[in-house]
């Protein structure tokens, strides 16, 4: 079964750091671009970061310089290092796989909650 499972969420103080992980199974992880998407409670979806199969990375302005996406193909794992966290980063964070024929996201994890609060 093709699956993504996120972990690492929790409560962190403003200015703090957190590292999220996403474990992939059921497909050749190294062959796919991967993404992180977040969703604040009651709000819409926001793309957070992307990493290509060659390790190229992309970020929107809202997290650039604070978040770092990485991957470890030998462990079928995707990561998101989040630094200088703000209250506005509070959300459920999903990892998602991009299709090999289009950049739409065909597989999603169940999400992990990140709460930034003092």
**Interaction between residue 110 and other proteins (CB under 8 A):** yes
Nearer to other proteins, 101 or 118 (CB): 101
Least CB distance to other proteins at residue 102 (A): 5
Binding mask 64-103 for other proteins (x = CB under 8 A): ------------------------------x---xx--xx
**Interaction between residue 3 and other proteins (CB under 8 A):** no
Please tell me the distance from the alpha carbon of residue 27 to that of residue 43, in angstroms, as a whole number: 31
What is the DSSP code string of the chain? --EEEEE--EEE-TT--EEEEEEEESS-GGGS-EEEEEE-TTS-EEEEEEE-TTS-EE--TTTTTTEEEEEEGGGTEEEEEE-S--GGG-EEEEEEEEPSSSSSEEEE---EEEEE--
Contact 33, 92 (CB under 8 A): no
Q: Which of residues 47-66 bind other proteins (CB under 8 A)?
A: 47, 50, 58, 60-61
Nearer to other proteins, 42 or 118 (CB): 42
Nearer to other proteins, 13 or 113 (CB): 113
Interacting residues with other proteins (CB under 8 A): 35, 37, 44-47, 50, 58, 60-61, 94, 98-99, 102-106, 108-111
């Amino acid at each position: 079964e093709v699956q993504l499972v996120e972990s690492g969420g929790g409560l962190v103080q403003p200015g703090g750091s957190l590292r999220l992980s996403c474990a992939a199974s059921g497909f050749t992880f190294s062959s796919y671009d991967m993404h992180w998407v977040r969703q604040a409670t009651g709000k819409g979806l926001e793309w957070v970061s992307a990493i290509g199969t060659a390790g190229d990375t992309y970020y929107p302005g809202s997290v650039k310089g604070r978040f770092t996406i990485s991957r470890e193909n030998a462990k079928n794992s995707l990561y998101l290092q989040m630094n200088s966290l703000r209250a506005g980063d509070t959300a459920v964070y999903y990892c998602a796989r991009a299709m090999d024929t289009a950049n739409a996201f065909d597989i999603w994890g169940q999400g992990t909650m990140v709460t930034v609060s003092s």
